[in-house]
Structure 1
Amino acid sequence: MTSVDRRDIGLLLLRLGVSGPMFAHGTQKLFGWFGGSGIKGAAKFMEEHGYKPGKLSALAAGIAEAGGGTLLGLGLATPAGGAAAAAGMAGAAAVHTSHGFFGYAGGYELNTIYGVAAAGVALIGPGRLSLDHACEYRLDRPWMAPAALAAAAVLTAVVVGARQAELRESRNASEQKA
């Protein structure tokens, strides 16, 4: 058995630092935990911000965050978990772009940090302090990270693109009424 080194401990800390908040945000949407609004409130928020249908969007965001966060924290199916978390954060960042970059102003800074960290872990792997290592990387093969991240990028582009189209259509309809 190979010994654990500081890289493995660093990856564990990074995984846990990203996965905890991701799990919490996802369960806020799905179950109303940690002061969240649950699926009904999250669906309303999604609809108000151009993600339609709202309930499906809230469900997808909650699963990406809670599920991706859980997989990252456990270091299990790390490419899939990292890609799901990164995709969820890209969708969340799209909501905050109108506020600029910095988090203090409601911007997308924090979403970017979580998304990039999740994608980075998906690419580099979870380290030896993980279930993937314990399972001999059966769910973390070299081809899986690029495939998972590419699929997540395409899906995110489609979803965020549809949101942008919905927002443009809504703006145009408002301008025509005025």
Structure 2
Amino acid sequence: MRTLGWALRLLFHTRGNTMTSLHRKDLGLLALRTAVGGVLFAHGAQKLFGWFGGGGLEGTAQAMEQMGFEPGDRNALAAGLGEAGGGALLAAGLATPVAGSVVAGTMAGAIAVHYPAGFFAHGGGYEYPALLGACGLALAVSGPGCYSVDAASGHALGRPWMGVLAFAASALGAVAVVSRRQDVVRRREARAADEAAGENGTGLS
């Protein structure tokens, strides 16, 4: 009990104690990293391996094709790697600026898909990917804290410029993927309209 009481005082008593305040900040970053990273890894594992009731690469590729992401297999692999890889790196606190930026870029693509449905998740909106993307970007900016692989390795893979480059590459990739999807959706809609017009013309004749 004495040990527990000492630990609680160390965690929550900050008056005049800068080190304790920093300790709490690092614990908060650790909790945020593991929570967000774990959720992202689980979603990526659904896409890649079919874990946790997911469709695996084949099922995810089919779903991607239906949504207009062609080719479906490549987009499924990229989405799965972005979520699982980025989530695992965030949880470990390894290459955090890069991992957070990749997560933000991946979620930007998901936001674009859900955007027409509005904001709130219960209506199919982009609320959830926006939250995950914001968390990834925040961790990329703040850093992982001292309880991380980056801190233990002297931030060899956690340089700020790495995060900037990763974010730029992820953002450009997301824009390219979403633009291609919009083109595919427009072509499908035009083809469906032509087929409907042809059927109507046949019926009239």
Q: TM-score range by the shorter chain?
A: over 0.9
TM-score under structure 1 normalisation? 0.95
Structure number with higher relative contact order (C-alpha < 8 Å, ≥ 6 residues apart) = 1
TM-score under structure 2 normalisation? 0.83
**AA in 1 matched with 2:62:** K
Quote how far apart the aligned CAs of 1:9 are.
1.1
Q: Equivalents in 1 of 2:45, 2:169: separation in Å?
A: 24
Q: Secondary structure at the match of 2:137?
A: helix
**AA in 2 matched with 1:170:** R
Quote how far apart the aligned CAs of 1:128 are.
0.7
Q: Output the aligned Cα RMSD.
A: 1.3
Structure 1: where are the runs of 5+ without partners?
A: none
Q: Equivalents in 2 of 1:151, 1:85: separation in Å?
A: 12
- Paired residue for 1:127? 145
Quote how far apart the aligned CAs of 1:98 are.
2.6
Number of aligned residue pairs: give it: 177
**AA in 2 matched with 1:147:** L
Structure 2: where are the runs of 5+ without partners?
A: 1-18, 197-205
Contact 1:123 1:146 in 2 (8 A): no
- Paired residue for 2:117? 99
- What's the CA shift string for 1:8-46, capped at 9, x where partnerless? 111111111211110000000000000101110000000
Pick the aligned partner of 2:81 from 63, 70, 86: 63
- Paired residue for 1:52? 70
- Runs of 4+ aligned residues of structure 1 deviating over 4 Å after TM superposition are none
Q: Equivalents in 2 of 1:156, 1:123: separation in Å?
A: 20
**AA in 2 matched with 1:38:** G
Q: Secondary structure at the match of 1:143?
A: helix
**AA in 1 matched with 2:182:** Q
Contact 2:106 2:170 in 1 (8 A): no
